[in-house]
Amino acid sequence: MTASAPLRLNNISKRYGATDALKTTSLQVAAGEMLALLGPSGCGKTTMLRIIAGFTTPDTGDVLIGDTDVTEFAPRKRGLGMVFQNYSLFPHMTVGENIAYGLKMKGIGAVERTRRVREMLDLVRLSNFEDRHVHHISGGQQQRVALARSLVTDPKVLLLDEPLGALDRNLRESMQFELRVIQKRLGVTSIIVTHDQDEALVMADRIAVMREGRIVQMGTPTEVYERPNGQFVSEFLGTANIFEASPVGPAGDGLWNVRLALPDQPMVKVAGPEGLSSSAPIRIAVRPERLTLTSEAEALRAQIRDVVFRGSYYAYELELAGLSKPIYVYSREKTAADLGGMIGLVWPDRYAVILPEQGQ
C-alpha cells in the first residue's frame, strides 16, 4: 500500500442562507491517524466530511492532502477512499467485481486486479466470497466488502460516514474493533463521522467533539472523556453527574477543596486548574462509574430512588437534597440498602473535574 498522507483544513467554513453549517475551522490529521468527528445531528460533522471529499465547496479556506491543495479538485481526483452507512455496493455484481471496480476504472490490468482483490478479501476475512453476489451475504459482510473496495485503490485518506449505523448492536461492536485493527495494520489516515460516543471512543486516536458548526473540544478519547472542557462535552460523551460548588482552597498536588451547593454535605476534593477564586461558583463533573456507594460517615448522603441491573453492573438513581436532577452510580456490586434508604457516596479525588467556564 502507498504511504498515507496527512490531512489539513485551513480556515474552512460553509454557510447555507442564514445558517452557519460550519463555522471557520482548522484542523490537522496526522498520517496514519484516525480522527472521529463526533456530535449531534446538525453539528457540522457531515458538512466537514463532504468538504474533505469534494462533494461540497467551502465558502472559505483550503483542503490539503499531503502537500497538495485539493480544494478545487473533483472528488475522484483527491485520492480518497469512502465507506458509507448504506454500503453503496453494486447489487448486480459479485463481491470480487465490487472490490475490483475502482481498479478497473483506473485501468489496472486483470492480473493485478485479481491479485489486489484477493489480498483485500484476505484482509477483511472474506477469502471464499469472491464469486458471491452481494445480496447473498449479511450486512456485516457487505460492510467488509465496502471497506475492501475503498482500500483496494490505496487511498491517501479514508473517509467513513456513519459506517456501522445500519448494523445491529453486537455486530456493530465487533466491527468497531475489526475496522480499527485493519486501519492500524494499513496505517491509512482516516476520518470517521459518527454520533455514537462508544464508537468514537473505541475507534479513534483523537476525537473532535462538534456543536453548532464548530469544534468545541479535541483530544484523545481519554482526554475528552475524563477531562471534558464543559458541560456539553461532559454530558455528550456519556452520563455525567454535574454539581454546583464553590472553591474553598487548594488541597495540594493539583487538587482543590470545594463545598457543594447542597445543604448538610461534607467538603470534597476535586481536580482543577490553579488560580480559582473562592468568590466564583464552579461546576463539577463526575462519571457514574467513578462513584462508589459506601457506609462511610464522611461520605455525601443520598437517597436511593431506583436500581436496575444492566448485565455487567447495577445502575443506581439517587436523590441528593437540594439537587434538582438525580445522581447516577454504576456499580458492579449491589448494595444491601433498600429503595428509599440513605446511602453514602464517594469518589476518587482525581475523577471529579472542575469544568472550565468557557466550555459550555
pLDDT tens digits, 51-80: 999 999 999 999 999 999 999 999 999 999
Q: Which candidate, 6, 138, 188, places its Cα nearest to that of 146?
A: 138
Lowest mean pLDDT among 76-80, 236-240, 274-278, 295-299: 274-278
Q: Is 106 exposed, middle or buried (0-12, 13-18, 19+ CB in 10 A)?
A: exposed
Q: What angle do CA 122, 99, 141 make, to 5 degrees?
A: 60
Cα–Cα distance list, 50 to 53, 54, 142, 232 (Å): 5, 6, 23, 25
Residue 357: the pLDDT is: 63
Q: What percent of the chain has pLDDT over 70?
A: 97
Average pLDDT over residues 6-23: 96
Q: What is the pLDDT of residues 84-107, one digit of tens each?
A: 877 688 888 999 999 999 898 888
Residue 164: the pLDDT is: 80
**3-state per-residue secondary structure call for the chain:** CCCCCCEEEEEEEEEECCEEEEEEEEEEECCCCEEEEECCCCCCHHHHHHHHHCCCCCCEEEEEECCEECCCCCHHHCCEEEEECCCCCCCCCEHHHHHHHHHHHCCCCHHHHHHHHHHHHHHCCCCCCCCCEHHHCCHHHHHHHHHHHHHCCCCCEEEEECCCCCCCHHHHHHHHHHHHHHHHHHCCEEEEEECCHHHHHHHCCEEEEEECCEEEEEECHHHHHHCCCCHHHHHHCCCCEEEEEEEEEEEECCEEEEEECCCCCCCEEEECCCCCCCCCCEEEEECHHHCEEECCCCCEEEEEEEEEECCCCEEEEEECCCCCCCEEEEECCCCCCCCCCEEEEECCHHHEEEECCCCC
Residue 3: the pLDDT is: 60
Provide the grid cell at 283. Answer: 461546576
Mean pLDDT of the chain: 90
Chain mean position to CA 308: 26
Pairing of strands 268-271, 255-260: antiparallel
**Are 93 and 133 contacting, i.e. CB atoms less than 8 angstroms apart?**
yes
Query: What's the pTM?
Result: 0.89
Q: Which candidate, 222, 224, 288, 284, places its Cα nearest to that of 248?
A: 284
pLDDT at 329 over 50: yes
Close Cβ partners of 165 (under 8 Å, ≥ 6 residues apart):
85, 172, 194, 196
Q: What is the pLDDT of residues 147-179, one digit of tens each?
A: 999 999 999 999 999 888 777 777 888 888 888
> How crowded is residue 119: how many other Cβ atoms within 10 Å of its Cβ?
14
Residue 359: the pLDDT is: 45
Q: What is the pLDDT of residues 181-216, one digit of tens each?
A: 999 999 999 999 998 899 999 999 999 999 999 999
Residue 314: the pLDDT is: 95
Set out the domains of the chain in order of their start, with CATH numbers. Answer: 7-235 (3.40.50.300), 236-355 (no CATH)
Residue 2: the pLDDT is: 57
Residue 358: the pLDDT is: 47
pLDDT at 1 over 60: no
One-letter amino acid of 355: L
Lowest mean pLDDT among 4-8, 13-17, 107-111, 286-290: 4-8
